[in-house]
Chains A and B, each alone.
Chain A
C-alpha cells in the first residue's frame, strides 16, 4: 500500500519534468540566445540553477530517504528518538551551506548586475544604431533618428551592430522585450529608458509588450529581423523612397487606441520622441538619460492625445 503511494508520488514529480524535456527544447527562446546580452543572461540562469541544485537535489533525495526509512510500520528496525531535538553541529551545517552558496551566488549576481546594466554601451568596434521605441495603445512605434525613418510593429536591425534603444510610452506602462536578444526594459511615460541589445547573427525573431496595458495588450507582438548591414541600408533606402511620411496629425491618429499591422514611414516630425517624453515629464523625477537629453525647462506642448483614450475603450 505504502509502496504504491511512494511510486505514485514519484511519478507525479517526474511526469512534468519529462514533459518539459520532451516538449520544448526547440523553442525555448530565452535559452536560445542570438545576442551577447541574452547569452550572458542565459549563462547566469544556468550557473545559478547549478548552484541551487547543490542544495536542492540532496534535500529532495534526503526527503525521500527520510520519509521512506522512518515511516511507522510493524517491525521497523530504524531508530526512534522522540526527544532528540537539537544538534549544534547539524544546525551549524545547514545554516552554513546555504550561506556559502548564497555568498557565491551574490558575488556572481552583483558582478552580473553591473556588467549587464541595460544602459551600459556594448563593447564593439561598430558605432551603435539608435532606435527610439514608443509604446502606444496597442502598437509599437520605432523611430530611427539617424536614418530619419519610422516603423510600426516591425523592427529591423543590422547584425553585429549594437543597438541603443531609447524607450518611452505614450500609453500605460509597458515593457519592451525581445527574448532572444536580451532582457526587457519598462516603457514609461515621461522617461526615456536606455537598453543596449545586439543580434549576433541574421535571423527573424520576435518581441512583445510584456507589461499589461489594457484591452488589446495581447496584440503587441512585433517582428524583429536582423540582416546584414548592406541589406539594412538597402531597406532604409527603400523605406525612404517608397513609404509615406508620418505627420504630427498622423501620429495623433496612430496614438489612438487601436491595433495595427506593420507600417513604415519615410520620415517623422522632428523631435517627436523628445516631445512624447517631455509631455508627461513636467515636474517629474527625470531619469538620468532624460536629463542628458533634455534641459530641465523644455518646451512642453499641450498633451493632445489624452482625449484619445476614450471611455468606452476601457469599460
Chain B
C-alpha cells in the first residue's frame, strides 16, 4: 500500500491549494481549554462547599457562625471584589478598543481592589484566630477556613498573574497572544467573583441569619 501512496501525493504537491488547514486556532483552543479548567475548579469549590454544608453544624462546643462573623466587614469585601470585576470588564473593553494604557490602568486598578480584598480577608482571619477560633477548633471552622481560604488563595494567584500580564502588556503591546491572556485572566477574575457570591451567601448570610 505504501508504495502506491508514496508515489501519489507528489503529483498533488504541485496543485495550488488556496485553503490549508495547517493552523488550528491556537488562541481559541487555549481559551476553550481554560473554560474546561474553570469547570474543574467549580468542582473543587463544589466539594469544599459540600464539606462546609455537611460540617457547619459540627461546632464541637466552639463558636458557631452567628457568634464569629461580622457582616459589615464582609459587605465591604464583597463590594471591593464586585467593583474589581467591573473594572476588569472595563479593562477588556479598553483592550477591544486598542487602548493599551487604559487597559493597563484598569487592570492595575483591578489588582489593587483585589489586594485590598485579600488584606481584609487576612485581617478577618487574624481576628478570628486571636479569638481562639482556629482550624483545629472544630469541623465547622476547618471547613470555613478551607473554603474561604481556597477562594483567597485563588485571588492571590490571580493577583500575581495579573501583574505578570500587565508587565507583558507593557513590553509586547496588544498582540493576539496578549489579547487571549487578558481574556483568560478576566474570565478567571469574574469566576472568582461568582464563587465569592456563593461564599458570601452560603457562609456569611446563611451563617448569621
Contact = CB atoms under 8 A, between A and B. Distances in A.
A285 B58 CA distance: 9
A284 B139 CA distance: 10
Nearest to A282: B60
**Candidate in A283, A284, A285 with the most chain B CB atoms within 10 angstroms:** A283
A12 to B, nearest CB: 36
Contacts of A285: 54
B4 to A, nearest CB: 19
B24 interface: no
A285 B61 CA distance: 15
B55 to A, nearest CB: 8
Interface in B61-106: 61
Nearest to A285: B54
Interface residues of B, number: 9
Contacts of B139: 283
Contacts, number: 13
Classify chain A's interface size: under 10
Contacts of A283: 57-61, 138-140
A164 B19 CA distance: 78
A283 B62 CA distance: 11
Nearest to B61: A282
A283 B64 CA distance: 12
A284 B60 CA distance: 9
A51 to B, nearest CB: 37
Contacts of B54: 285
A296 to B, nearest CB: 11
A112 B54 CA distance: 30
A229 to B, nearest CB: 45
Interface in A258-298: 282-285
Contacts of B138: 283
Contacts of B60: 282-283
Contacts of B58: 282-284
Interface in A165-189: none
Contacts of A284: 58
Nearest to A284: B58
A111 B30 CA distance: 51
Contacts of B57: 283
A245 B58 CA distance: 37
Contacts of A282: 58, 60-61
A282 B138 CA distance: 10
B64 to A, nearest CB: 11
Nearest to B58: A283
Nearest to B55: A283
B133 to A, nearest CB: 15
B53 to A, nearest CB: 12
Interface in B37-64: 54, 57-61
Interface string B113-142: 000000000000000000000000011100
A288 B119 CA distance: 45
B58 to A, nearest CB: 3
B33 to A, nearest CB: 34
A189 to B, nearest CB: 14
A282 B59 CA distance: 9
A11 B2 CA distance: 42
A282 B57 CA distance: 10
A28 to B, nearest CB: 41
A284 B140 CA distance: 11
A121 to B, nearest CB: 30
A13 to B, nearest CB: 37
Contacts of B59: 283
Contacts of B61: 282-283
A282 B139 CA distance: 11
B59 to A, nearest CB: 6
Nearest to B139: A283
Given A282-B58, A283-B58, A284-B58, 5 more contacts: A282-B60, A282-B61, A283-B59, A283-B138, A285-B54
Interface of B: 54, 57-61, 138-140
13 contacts: A282-B58, A282-B60, A282-B61, A283-B57, A283-B58, A283-B59, A283-B60, A283-B61, A283-B138, A283-B139, A283-B140, A284-B58, A285-B54
The 4 closest A-B pairs by CB, nearest first: A283-B58, A283-B60, A282-B60, A283-B59
